[in-house]
Structure 1
Amino acid sequence: MMLKDKVAVIYGAGGAVGGAVAHAFAREGAKLFLTGRNRAAVDALAKEITSAEGSAQAAEVDALDEEAINAHLQSVIDTVGRIDISFNAVGIRNTTLQGVPVVQQALDQFLLPIATYTKSYFLTARAAARRMAEKKSGVIMTVTSTPSRIGIPLMGGVGPAMAAVEALTRNLSAELVPQGIRVVGLRPHGMPESGTIKEVFGLHAKAWGISWDQFHELIASRTHGRRLPTLVEMANVAAFIASDQASAMTGTVVNMSLGSLDD
């Protein structure tokens, strides 16, 4: 098992991405501390994992609340003595953030994703790094999407937010690697199994005057395989990146766009 006895904290565990990664980490032997604002969803995930003989504890933590983040991480330290992996999979509703031309957006609509994502990733990364530095070991992981690198219409502030998180990923790595901490990002393309992506695809389809299926086919047609990646594929890559087998990977963002974005 690639993550045997590794201690992993997952933020946004109640969502599709966080849940998929939690199952992959558990399968590889990690001890999970699952967090989210929706305690019921996190509890249900923890129950699924423990029922499959995995190790998971659930907690209600707002990944935008500095005090809550620090209190939870301290409780993890008090329980198991260390943190090996910090994975942030937080997301926000996109019903008013995408599918609208920038010139029609209010300033607060444009700034909301930028402020939310950068704040959450900064707070969770900083809190984890301070504790990982004591052991001179750890992996901090971020999640973005292809608008960080591709100009796409009707994205509002989401593209700039994703680009900012990727810049933060690189800068954190430059500072933290000398302390034994790797920082790596994942950049999957739209995964339509995710409720968030379904919602986003619907917003764009409506704006373009086409059906959800037509928009899905349009996005998929731009990949080399004419399909979009799955949650399982993303989670499997995440488990590898979090493991010691990926010890040379830091300060980078893993491209999982199936060729639609050339590096």
Structure 2
Amino acid sequence: MLLENKNVVVYGAGGAIGSAVARAFAQEGARVFLTGRTPDVMETAAKEITAAGGAAETAVVDAADEKAVADHLAAVVADAGTLDVSFNAIGISPRGLQGIPFTDLPIENFLHPITTYTRAHFVTAKSAARHMIAQRSGVIMMNTPEPARLPLPLVGGMSVGWAAMEGLSRALSAEWAQHGVRTICLRTTGIPETPTIHTVFGLHADALGTTKDQLLEMEGAMTHRKRLTALDELAQAAVLLASDRASAMTGTVANLTGGLVVD
């Protein structure tokens, strides 16, 4: 197992991405600590993990609340002994933020994803690094969609926020990799299995006078392999990059866009 005896905290674990990554980590032997703001959905994910023979625990934690994050991680390390991986998969509703031309987008709506994403990712990374630097090992991970790199219309401040996340990941690596802490960002296309992407494409379809399905088909056709990133592909890549087999990888963006973005 690639993550045997590893202790992993997942933020936004009640969402489609967070729960899928948590399940994949547990399948590879990790003890998974699921956090988020909605206990019911996290409990469902935890029960699925334990039913499959994995180890999972849940806690209500707001990833943007520095004290809550720090207190939770202190409790995790006191119980488990180490903090080996921190994966932040939080998301925000795209309504009022996407599908709106910049000329019509209120400044508050433009700034909301930028400040929300950068704050939450800095808070969770900073809190995790304090433990990881002390033990001289650990991996800090995040996920961005392709507008972080590929300019697309009607995405509002979301693309700027995602680009800031990738820049943050690189900056953290420059400071922490010398202490054994790796930072990895996984960049995907929109993932069709997630409810959020259907909301997003619905907003864009309404603005462009087309249908959600047509937009999904169009984006898939833009990739080299003619299909969008699958949820399991992201989860399995996260397992590999969190493992010691990827020990030389840090300060980088793993490109899982299937050729939609070419590095």
Give the TM-score of the pair, scaled to structure 1.
Answer: 0.99
**Matches of 1:205 and 1:225, distance apart in 2:** 23
Q: Secondary structure at the match of 2:258?
A: coil
Whether 2:91 is the aligned partner of 1:86: answer: no
Whether 2:63 is the aligned partner of 1:60: answer: no
1:192-203 matched pairs, under 5 angstroms: 192-203=192-203
**Matches of 1:99 and 1:117, distance apart in 2:** 19
What is the deviation of 1:34? 0.4
CA-to-partner distance for each residue in 1:157-182, whole Å, 9 max, x for gaps? 01110111000000000100111100
* Cross-structure match for 1:70: 70
1:37-48 matched pairs, under 5 angstroms: 37-48=37-48
Whether 2:32 is the aligned partner of 1:36: answer: no
What is the deviation of 1:211? 1.1
Instruction: Name whichever of 139-148 and 83-92 sits farther off.
Output: 139-148
CA-to-partner distance for each residue in 1:223-250, whole Å, 9 max, x for gaps? 0111101100110000000000000110
Q: Secondary structure at the match of 2:222?
A: coil
What is the deviation of 1:117? 0.2
What is the deviation of 1:82? 1.2
Give unmatched runs, 5+ long, in structure 1. none
Q: Secondary structure at the match of 2:115?
A: helix
Q: Given residue 76 of structure 1, which amino acid in structure 2 is its aligned partner?
A: V
Give unmatched runs, 5+ long, in structure 2. none
Q: Given residue 167 of structure 2, which amino acid in structure 1 is its aligned partner?
A: A
* Cross-structure match for 2:131: 131
What is the deviation of 1:145? 1.2
CA-to-partner distance for each residue in 1:109-161, whole Å, 9 max, x for gaps? 00000000000000000000001111000000011111111110001001110
* Cross-structure match for 1:220: 220
**Matches of 2:85 and 2:197, distance apart in 1:** 25
Q: Given residue 118 of structure 1, which amino acid in structure 2 is its aligned partner?
A: T
Structural RMSD (CA) = 0.6
Q: Which runs of 4+ in 1 moved over 4 A?
A: none
**Matches of 2:145 and 2:231, distance apart in 1:** 13
What is the deviation of 1:212? 1.2
**Equivalent residue pairs, number:** 263
Whether 2:221 is the aligned partner of 1:242: answer: no
Whether 2:35 is the aligned partner of 1:19: answer: no
The percentage of aligned residue pairs carrying the same residue is: 50
Give the TM-score of the pair, scaled to structure 2.
Answer: 0.99
